[in-house]
Amino acid sequence: MASEFDLIDRYFKRAAPPGMLGVGDDCALFGVPAGMQVATSTDLLIEGRHFFPDVDPRALGHKALAVNVSDLAAMGARPIGCLLGLALPEAREPWLAAFAQGFHAMADQAGCPLIGGDTTGNPGALAISVTVFGAVRPEAALRRDGARVGDDIWVSGTLGDADIAYRLLGGHMPADEALLARTRTALEWPQPRYTLGPALAGVAHAAIDISDGLLQDLGHILKASGVGARLALDAMPVSTALADLPPARVRHAVLAGGDVYELCFTAPPDRADAVRRIGAECGVAVSRIGVVDAGGQLVVLDADGTPLRDLPRGFDHFRSS
């Protein structure tokens, strides 16, 4: 069997970009442009908890990095590079090759090269830890505490698909091959908004990426900023893949469905045209879904202007129910 070093050389070592030191030494080295700070974030993915054991390894490699790049985007930071920690139950080379292919493709696409990591055998479940580094001007960083009363609330892309695919794959919805085919890409191949996020830095006031559900994640912005919000249900960008589903199911997927990796952000109303222009330049749809207000509540209005009751919440690992 190949040694740990052979595996690293074969699957993870790549030439580092100019000015950086990548895989192969005790540490990686990189700099940040003057006036910028390092933005860094890490995410841990455990088999059976964050992904299905039989998931396509190429998709898993993609997603392991994509969800981290999404955090950089939500901070308004441009990717610099990433680290990968792997605890492998067994070194199956075809699996590793496919995983690495998906990972490096995402790294190349986002300009976030793999510059180091750690690899270990582990008889338990597969665990993947990815750490990303990015650069952002501190005064323009899209922090969660930046929302102001009167801001518009925006969301990129469409909502709901990933939740439906997750339910179909987990057997929580009656099997529907056609619906799964329409929604599965959203769950397994999320596209982090690494161009949109940095473009919004200095324009938007606050941002978050939707990993646990729109209401829950927007709730983090509202809490950190000490504000409330009113959202319009009929302004939500719903994927056309969900057109045939019952409205209650769609509503739940859109408001509470996780694994979306779209950006939810707030911006002053006089920057609405700038936001639309940035969306168009980045090739990402942006929808205005509500406004920030001074109340401490998060209210969703239906098409008649009536507040929805019993709002669904998003995904929370530590909730008992």
Q: Would you list which residues are annotated within the binding site for substrate? A: 50, 259, 315
* Residue 118 near ligand ADP by CB under 6 A: yes
Q: How many residues bind ligand ADP (CB under 6 A)?
A: 13
* Residue 127 near ligand ADP by CB under 6 A: no
For Mg ion, which stretch binds (CB under 5 A), given 11-19, 30-38, 114-122, 164-172?
Answer: 114-122
* Residue 114 near ligand ADP by CB under 6 A: yes
For Mg ion, which stretch binds (CB under 5 A), given 20-28, 82-90, 113-121, 289-297?
Answer: 113-121
* Residue 25 near ligand ADP by CB under 6 A: yes
CA angle 219, 224, 226 (to 5 degrees): 90
Find the binder of ligand ADP among 111, 117, 150, 202 (CB under 6 A).
Answer: 117
225 burial via Cβ count (<10 Å: 0-12, 13-18, 19+): buried
Quick one: 23 or 165, whose CB is closer to ligand ADP? 23
Helix axes 161-169, 177-188, angle to 10 degrees: 120
How is residue 238 annotated by DSSP? B
From CA 15, how far away is CA 316, in angstroms rounded?
Answer: 39
From CA 108, how far away is CA 111, in angstroms rounded?
Answer: 5
Backbone φ and ψ for 255, nearest 5 degrees, come out as -85, -30
For Mg ion, which stretch binds (CB under 5 A), given 77-85, 115-123, 246-254, 262-270?
Answer: 115-123
Find the binder of ligand ADP among 57, 76, 79, 116 (CB under 6 A).
Answer: 116
How is residue 306 annotated by DSSP? P
* Residue 118 near Mg ion by CB under 5 A: yes
Q: Which residues, 73 to 112, sit near ligand ADP by CB under 6 A? A: 84, 86
* Residue 6 near ligand ADP by CB under 6 A: no
Q: How many residues bind Mg ion (CB under 5 A)?
A: 1
* Residue 119 near ligand ADP by CB under 6 A: yes
Per-residue b/e over 59-95, b at no fewer than 16 CB within 10 Å?
bbbbbbbbbbbbbbbbbbbbbbbbbbbbbbeebeeeb
* Residue 26 near ligand ADP by CB under 6 A: yes
Strand partners for 299: 230
Rule CB under 6 A: which residues touch ligand ADP?
A: 8, 12, 23-26, 84, 86, 114, 116-119
